[in-house]
Amino acid sequence: MITSQHSRLNDWIKTADSPEFRQKSLDLAMVIVRLALAWIFIYYGTGKLFGWFHGGGLNGTATFMATTAHLHPGKLFAVLSGVTEFGGGIALAIGFLGRLAAVGLFFDMVIAMVTVTFQNGLIGNSSGVGYGLNVALGALCAAVILLGTGRYSLGARLRERMLS
């Protein structure tokens, strides 16, 4: 009985340590990362562009960009940020041009930290939200930049078709 359980444990360890299992795990992890990022960035991007989900829309976001973030002209930065977040979120969701989208979103988070959230500390204070979410989202974007979108993506499917 103990030998049988020991053998099954060894078999599982060999399987879990195999290159195939590691690749599938990485690909699944990248789907999870991409979908989490997509959900968050599409949410914020549509709020900036269209006023969805209690967002400011272009006018409210432009005012915020000009007054709070000190980015001028506010309308230009509102459009750039909204398109980067909305379009980048869609690109990550489907896994097409994901690395490029992740680069844009990474710098979107850096700009948000530098202009607005860093002064409030990691978790925020009475003046506003902190930069913790920006760091987490930026780090996840860096993972996509470094690892790509994985085999479970539109980009991978298109590469397979082009090579076959």
Q: Under a CB-based contact definition with an 8 Å cutoff, are residues 129 and 117 in contact?
A: yes
pLDDT digits (tens, 9 = 90+) for 124-160: 998 889 999 999 999 999 999 999 999 999 999 999 9
pTM greater than 0.85 (yes/no): yes
pLDDT digits (tens, 9 = 90+) for 13-46: 777 788 898 999 999 999 999 999 999 999 999 9
Q: Under a CB-based contact definition with an 8 Å cutoff, are residues 33 and 140 in contact?
A: yes
